[in-house]
Amino acid sequence: MQRISLVLGILVFFLSSCSSVSVKTDYDREIDFQKYKTYAWTEREVPDDALAQNPLVKRRVQTAVNATLRSKGYSLVEREQADFVVVIHAGIKERMRVQDYGRYGWYDPWWGPYGGRVEVSYYEEGTLVVDIVDAQKEELVWRGMGTGIVKKRVDPDKMQKDIDEDVRAILADFPRGQ
């Protein structure tokens, strides 16, 4: 049952809009990104990769990454000619939110006050990771991560639009190609 829930969570995977996605990036400061002009995809096994659970969503993310890199001036080529390779993976965690509305009412006996309310809700938080690996050195040179609340999407076009926006936000700081 948990596997079905995970697959359904992935099927409707992505985060609602750029404003709800928290993006973090890091890179190797000694790398000259101006030398990169071409890229390829590579498959690396990542433990508990949520994208591996759903190839349809993975293809949507790849489509979004391709469009974003193309808009930055990079060309998709065969692995042997690539300056860098792209690796994508994702994870989903269940989170709990507790909201305490404080004490309402005036009656406060010794055994505890009446009134007040605490709400507990659960939600899924997803993180998409885009890794850029130098093709010759086979070392990670850039990483972008987008984290946000997983929204349930049933419309594939809306899902693709959301994924496109999130990937653009993740790759916004990745340098432009030549």
Rounded mean pLDDT, 75-96: 94
Q: Is the pLDDT of residue 75 over 80?
A: yes
Domain extent for 118: 2-170
Contact 170, 23 (CB under 8 A): yes
* Number of structural domains the chain divides into: 1
- Does the residue 94 lie in any domain? yes
- Does the residue 177 lie in any domain? no
- Does the residue 60 lie in any domain? yes
Q: Is the pLDDT of residue 63 over 70?
A: yes
- Does the residue 175 lie in any domain? no
**SS3 state at 50:** coil
- Does the residue 178 lie in any domain? no
**pLDDT tens profile 120-150:** 888 888 999 999 999 999 999 999 999 988 8
User: The domain spanning residue 131 has which CATH number?
Assistant: 3.30.160
